[in-house]
Homo-oligomer: A and B are copies of this chain.
Amino acid sequence: MSLVTVGTMAFDAIETPFGKTDKIIGGSATYVAWVASQFYTPIKQVSIIGGDFPEEEIRALEEKGVDFEGVEVVKDQKSFFWSGKYHMDMNTRDTLVTDLNVLEHFNPQLPESYQDCSYLMLGNLAPDVQMSVINQLKNKPKLILLDTMNFWMDIAMDALLQTLKLVDVIIINDSEARQLSEEYSLVKAAQKIHAMGPKFVVIKKGEHGALLFYENRVFSAPALPLEEVFDPTGAGDCFAGGFVGHLAKTGDISFENMKKAVIVGSAMASFCVEKFGTERLKEINKEIIQERIKAFEDLASFNTINL
């Protein structure tokens, strides 16, 4: 069995109130791979890159147990590039540049060796691309997880709704949940999104934590209160990577274990924002992660209250 992740591998240029980067490595599948490989291997990557994507970044991920057979390399083109600027609250950002480059004609072909997929993590991409990967799998994976964004709701809602019918877990943020459901209350939003297909609805709320909805049950995970959020880019992907990495590692997709997966995802996101890009993710190890998870346990726990 394997964990297959689909998404972008790209360059980002980021400006935050704390500083500014040149072109650095980014992309949803890059973040997911760095994080999920802390918990489970092999990670079988599905993506597309240009000839400009650094060989040493690929080697570094391969050393972590990430398989690149499903990553198409278009030598004479450039990798996807995104540039954005965050405002003081770090929840709003302006996109400055989006150069699709290789992504414009991304039509992933799943290698035969990826057919052992048990966990399929569909990163934020066009819904018909996400759907095409699902359709190429001969056996239904144990769990299909999907991330998406407002942009696809604006321009490809029908394709998104078709894809959602095949998905077990959706991982989106609060504004995306509101747009998808046309409900302001997140409880009502989750109910409507359940009805679209996903049994599990995960709603990320940035500095306010995350909610996990399943049937009529809810779990609320805190976010770690931080002195500074240095760069939020990739935090959502790191959440997804930790979430699916924990599930693949444990092989347990019960609600109780999904709660733990939300905590692991939240912990991984909390590392991501401490430095620019993937920098912090390359420094951490199992001990540091376990310590951070303990901080979440301390943060949220209280003794039973009997009146």
Residues of A that sit less than 8 Å from B by CB: 39, 88-89, 184-188, 205, 208-209, 211, 217-223, 225-229, 246, 256, 259-260, 262-264, 286, 289-290, 293, 297-307
Contact A226 B187 (CB under 8 A): yes
Chain B residues within 8 Å of A218, by CB: 225, 299
Contact residues in B for A88 (Cβ distance below 8 Å): 184
B297 touches A263 (CB 8 A): no
Q: Among B222, B286, B305, which residue has its beta carbon within 8 angstroms of that of A263?
A: B305
Q: How far is the CA of A223 from the CA of B221 in the complex (A)?
A: 11
A289 CB to nearest chain B CB (Å)? 6
A-side interface mostly: mixed
Contacts of A221 in B (CB 8 A): 302
**Are A260 and B303 in contact, with the CB atoms below 8 A?**
yes
Asked if A305 and B89 make an inter-chain contact with CB atoms under 8 angstroms apart, the answer reads: no
Alpha-carbon gap, A196 to B89, bound state (A): 25
Q: Which one of B227, B228, B293, B304 lies within 8 Å of A307 (CB-CB)?
A: B293
Q: How many copies does the complex hold?
A: 2
Distance, CA A81 to CA B304, complexed state (A):
40
Report whether B222 and A302 are in contact in the complex, using a CB–CB cutoff of 8 Å. no
19 CB contacts below 8 A, A to B, read: A89-B184, A185-B226, A185-B228, A185-B229, A205-B208, A208-B208, A208-B209, A209-B209, A211-B225, A217-B298, A218-B299, A220-B225, A246-B305, A260-B302, A260-B305, A297-B304, A297-B305, A300-B302, A301-B301
When distances are taken between beta carbons in the complex, the residues of chain B under 8 Å from A39 are 307
8 Å CB contact of A220 from B89, B186, B205, B209:
B209
Which one, B185, B229, B297, B307, contacts A290 given CB within 8 A?
B307
- Chain B CB count within 10 A is highest, among A228, A229, A300, for A300
The answer to whether B305 and A293 have CB atoms under 8 Å apart is yes
How long is the Cα–Cα vector from A222 to B299 in the complex, in angstroms?
A: 11
Q: How far is the CB of A239 from chain B (nearest CB, A)?
A: 15
Residue on B with the closest CB to A206? B208
